[in-house]
Structure 1
Amino acid sequence: MPHTPEPDEDDLDAIPPPHPVVHVEQALLGALLLEPQRLRDVTGIGADAFSTPAHAALFTALSSLPAPDPAEHSQDTKWLGTVLAAAREQTRGLSALYLQQLIQVCRWPQHTPAYARIIEAEHARRRLAAAAQQLTRTAGDTTLPQRVATTLAEADALTTVVDDIAARFPPHAGSLPRTSAPAPATDLDEDAVDEEQLLLATATAHPGDIEQMRWLTASDFTQPLHAGLWQCLTALSQRRAPIDPVTVLWEARQRGLLGPEVRPQELLTVLADPFGAAEHWGERVLQRHLLATARHIGRHIEAFADDPATTSYQLVVGSRRALADLSAVRTRWRHATAPVSNKDTPVRARAASPPRAGPPQAAAPTTRISR
């Protein structure tokens, strides 16, 4: 019969074991309590590098108090009492017994620099994870008034953390992180589908706009069919071929986009239903892709940081590669939203089209392609 613990019985199995870095912190603090003069060998960390408030308080006390005379310190515990009193001002619960335990834990005070380096590396890992989480949250927050600008600001903050880690742990030749990237979100976004179809229809009706939208690529679309149709439109535009729903349909057929789920008549109906300005819908598509990319990169870097097998050097290399993907999308976004006078002059004269506008005042008519 299985054992049922009493209500007041301690369930030790429910208490998670301490993080491995806690043992390193204990060894470092024990070394400094035993031989305070070794504090001069500790570089690269402050109180914020410790994983628990108690350890942070002890390190603050050790760093702020003058070191005792080594001979006197070996004969009495007066200085330890001073450290304990100073640490208790920040964190209650510390005891003289715990300080004694820390001293007993550390048997190799000469390894203090190595302990400090390990603590510095784990602190960098936590900082990177926190910055990546913030980027993911911000990119997914639909309540922000300036969502793209705020997301890009968080991306800059994350880049700053990566650069700081790189300065502390310069990357060197070696393997890339082995952590697999999380799967991208696959939820169907009805708004994204509608906006992509409106873009395709409006660009088909005003093909002169296509050349102005070189900042938009097939990778920005959420639906493979829509990505393929945008490639059809850009290919026809580059060839100076006539563009209308029929020519786009034939190009789609040659590219193998038609099938049981994509009937020619439905495709023609969608492409013949333009609304608003193509550039407006293109910016909406690109904005959605930028935010999705930021969320994915935040999750990817967080996965790096959560993998204990990822070294500090790999964190830097992997994070920089991930952020490079966002930087590429960001560059295209800046070009898309730049004032017209700052954009490249097109090779071909722009065809007449409705003036660029913001979101339409009325709901746009949309016919969905069967999927």
Structure 2
Amino acid sequence: MPQTPEPDEDHDLDLDASAPPQPVFHVEQALLGALLLDPHRLHDVNGIIADSFSTAAHTAVFAAISTLPPPHPAEHAKNAAWLDLVLATARQQARGLTASDLHALVQVCPWPRHTPAYARMVEAEHARRSLAAAAEHLVHTVHDASLPHPVESVLTEADALATVVEDIAARFPPRAGVLPRTPAPPPPAAPDYTQAIEEERLLLATATVYPAGIETVPWLLPGDFVVPLHAGLWQCLTALARRQEPVDPVTVLWEAQQRGLLDDGSDPGEVLRTLAEPAASVEHWGERALQRSLLTTAKHTAQRITAYAGDPANTPFQLVVGARRALADIGAVRTRWQHATTPAPPPRPAPTTRAGPPTTTAAPTAHAARATR
């Protein structure tokens, strides 16, 4: 086989690389070595493609093996003609490959008959990388301030992430009750925290002045607020409205005291000032708060899935279970968002009364009267 390397090319097949490779690197080497030793074992490889490999060199070698016709076993045992062809084909994508790289792959393969097991491991690691990439893309979408319709774009990416999860589930059916062992990261802060505080204050003040507007936002929950005190004040407002009691800054402040919201040292005067500057409508500010909650939930979901995918101890089964549970949080907020933004159907017109048959009651009565004379 030709052995002249290209100058200044990286050798990601080099066994003496300075950075210790991950276990999947050795698995990929074993799989490729098995296929180079016995090309007919490619029929035992299912569920992976060239992009399933973690390095460009491994990708190129597998692409060459899978596209070239396998050699005759007897000829392959006597000469390296097919290996020369594999090298020439693979070097079209990874020019730094050398004949010694292929020989190294052959030498590190412990048992060629374990090819299906190696392929399954490569498939599992590729599933992990695919899941992490989809989660990362969702985070980027949440942070993209240039999007004209951020909620719709984020939900589209969430659906794409869910598709990746279901694809993994189809190849690695989850086992009941097997959860990832990785602790979930803490919920992230709202990206526009200062603006969120101001908008929540406006929402609370507007709801205090116009408590009838509280009924228009049944989809808004305390968990949608970024400030715990604001979430508690919203609960005070909804409780007073539900009990049909007077609503004004003083009654809300008293309700807050009864609920222990001021026990942390919150200034009652500051609470009154928070409730004293209404603007726009309750529904407007409520929708803003819900949108922020949806975006924050999507980011936290993606971060949870990224944490799961980043833990190599989690199996594909665990990744599916954990990712599905994380995505359920987006689904819950999505339902409320659809409720908030879907126009109410027009009122149904009152049914018209059809004209009945002509009455015949009077005529028989008159006839009966004449009969009695």
* TM-score, structure 1 normalization: 0.86
Q: 2:277 aligns with which of 253, 273, 280?
A: 273
1:214 aligns with 2:218: yes
Q: 1:46 aligns with which of 21, 45, 49?
A: 49
> 2:57, 2:94 within 8 Å by CA — same for their partners in 1?
yes
Distance 2:189 2:150 in 1: 21
Opposite residue 318 of structure 1, the aligned amino acid is: G
Distance 1:205 1:13 in 2: 72
Q: Between Structure 1 and Structure 2, whose CA radius of gyration is higher?
A: 2
**Any residues of structure 2 matched to 1:1-371 within 5 Å, and which?**
15-186=18-189, 189-259=193-263, 261-341=265-345
Give RMSD over aligned pairs.
1.8
Q: 2:352 — aligned with what?
A: none
> 2:135, 2:306 within 8 Å by CA — same for their partners in 1?
yes
Opposite residue 154 of structure 1, the aligned amino acid is: E
Task: Flag the 1:260–1:171 CA change in 2: closer, same or farther, 3 A.
Answer: closer
Q: 1:356 — aligned with what?
A: none
Task: Flag the 1:141–1:105 CA change in 2: closer, same or farther, 3 A.
Answer: same
Distance 2:250 2:221 in 1: 22
Q: 1:364 — aligned with what?
A: none
Distance 2:110 2:313 in 1: 27
Opposite residue 62 of structure 2, the aligned amino acid is: F
> What displacement does 1:89 show?
1.5
Task: Flag the 1:66–1:260 CA change in 2: closer, same or farther, 3 A.
Answer: closer
Distance 2:110 2:167 in 1: 32
> 2:36, 2:83 within 8 Å by CA — same for their partners in 1?
yes
SS at match of 2:78: coil
Distance 1:132 1:263 in 2: 41
Opposite residue 338 of structure 1, the aligned amino acid is: T
Task: Flag the 1:134–1:221 CA change in 2: closer, same or farther, 3 A.
Answer: same
Deviation digits for residues 112-161 of structure 1, max 9, x if unmatched? Answer: 00000000000000000000011111112222221111111111110000
Opposite residue 300 of structure 1, the aligned amino acid is: R
Q: Which piece of structure 1 moves more, 285-294 or 171-180?
A: 171-180
* TM-score, structure 2 normalization: 0.85
Q: Which piece of structure 1 moves more, 285-294 or 120-129?
A: 285-294
Percent of residue pairs bearing the same amino acid type: 63
Task: Flag the 1:261–1:342 CA change in 2: closer, same or farther, 3 A.
Answer: farther
Distance 1:106 1:262 in 2: 67
> What displacement does 1:272 show?
2.3
The gaps in structure 2 that reach 5 residues or longer are 1-14, 348-373
> What displacement does 1:297 show?
1.1
> 2:188, 2:299 within 8 Å by CA — same for their partners in 1?
no
Structure 1 ranges of 4+ moved more than 6 A:
none
Distance 2:177 2:250 in 1: 53
Opposite residue 139 of structure 1, the aligned amino acid is: V
> What displacement does 1:71 show?
1.1
> What displacement does 1:208 show?
1.1
> 2:131, 2:164 within 8 Å by CA — same for their partners in 1?
yes
> What displacement does 1:186 show?
4.3
Distance 1:340 1:190 in 2: 32
Opposite residue 150 of structure 1, the aligned amino acid is: S
Distance 1:230 1:105 in 2: 65
Q: Which piece of structure 1 moves more, 217-226 or 272-281?
A: 272-281
Q: 1:9 — aligned with what?
A: none
SS at match of 1:327: helix
Q: Which piece of structure 1 moves more, 251-260 or 196-205?
A: 251-260
Opposite residue 129 of structure 2, the aligned amino acid is: R
Task: Flag the 1:34–1:342 CA change in 2: closer, same or farther, 3 A.
Answer: farther
Deviation digits for residues 158-181 of structure 1, max 9, x if unmatched? Answer: 000000000010001243111111
Opposite residue 146 of structure 2, the aligned amino acid is: T
SS at match of 1:91: coil
Distance 1:192 1:98 in 2: 57
Q: 1:360 — aligned with what?
A: none
Deviation digits for residues 276-308 of structure 1, max 9, x if unmatched? Answer: 111111111111111111111111100100001
Opposite residue 118 of structure 1, the aligned amino acid is: M
